[in-house]
Amino acid sequence: MVRVLVVDDSPMDRRLSGSLLKKRAGMEPVYAENGVEALETIARSMPEIVLTDLQMPEMDGLELVEAIRREHPYLPVILMTAHGSEEIAVQALRRGAASYVAKRNLAAELVNTVENVLAVARLDRREQQLLSCLTATESHFELDNDVAKVPALVGHVEQSLGRMRLCDETGRIQVAVALREALVNAIVHGNLEVSSKLLDEQPSAFSALVERRRAESPYRDRRVVVVARETRTEATYVVRDEGPGFDPRNLPDPTDLANLDKPSGRGLMLIRTFMDEVRHNDKGNEIRMVMKCRSPGAGGEPGEDGG
């Protein structure tokens, strides 16, 4: 049986919603009069879905949506909206509710809405159960020298970080920024051999040279190889270009105050700030960046291979 928690301070509306649900085989409504009682019911016996009114005493529907999203993020909530509650309903949808049904349309729409949301929620829960078994991911990419392709690769990495739960949203953004800078450096400074000094001195000439060399040999035939590996304990990103490289020992310190306002040092400064470990190979055409787990509950077994 599918347990549907119906939350409404009106006994008549509760009975109406419950009777509509009972007409569909396999649905069992349980009831609460307000948000506080609903949370107590959820704590005692978890339903599969919550159907809630918006305007209630003690804890209204908006507050209930926020509490469920905070305490039970995979429990879907459907709103029952009445005339005059439209603004609150929009807020609740933005804060985590899965759908809504107008009270005047309950008879026609309630059961189908519940079934549709349940179908999506069950798929999401199964995926989350599967992802809890995921211990490592590894992706290999080979890019040409089109910087426009960088955001898609960075987005893929952000999704992988989310699946492994290595960090929060801020951490994902920081890793994305660091990886983007490394990729752009590999394309522009590595494969196309456009000097960062030109960026400091003549930005327009810098951009023009980048575009010209993308079409010239030997630059146009070079590729950037990327290896991204995430485990429960750390994420490792290796970016290698096919340019001549450089001596990493001659890199200026990007954290030196004298270099902070130079455009050419901004990328490396961000990489070193956001990543826990940064190393170049001896040839200078490969950078290896490591981010350690930053989510308290996400770590794997001690000693698990991170790279």
For residue 23, which of 121, 115, 100 has the smallest C-alpha distance? 115
**pLDDT tens sequence across 125-157:** 777 777 778 889 999 999 999 999 999 999 999
**Given this model, what pLDDT does residue 73 score?**
82
Q: Which residues of the chain have pLDDT under 70?
A: 123-124, 252-266, 295-307
The DSSP string of 220-271 is: GG--EEEEEEEESSEEEEEEE--S----GGG---TTSTTTTT-HHHHHHHHH
Q: How far is CA 8 from CA 3, 33, 58, 91, 107, in A?
A: 16, 5, 12, 18, 16
Dihedral sign computed on CA atoms, order 57, 58, 64, 68 = negative
| Beta strands at 286-292 and 99-102: parallel, antiparallel or unpaired | unpaired
**Alpha helices (runs of H) in the chain, residue ranges in sequence order:** 11-22, 35-44, 61-71, 86-94, 106-131, 150-164, 169-185, 196-201, 203-213, 263-274
**pLDDT tens sequence across 157-206:** 988 888 888 888 778 888 998 999 899 999 999 999 998 888 777 888 98
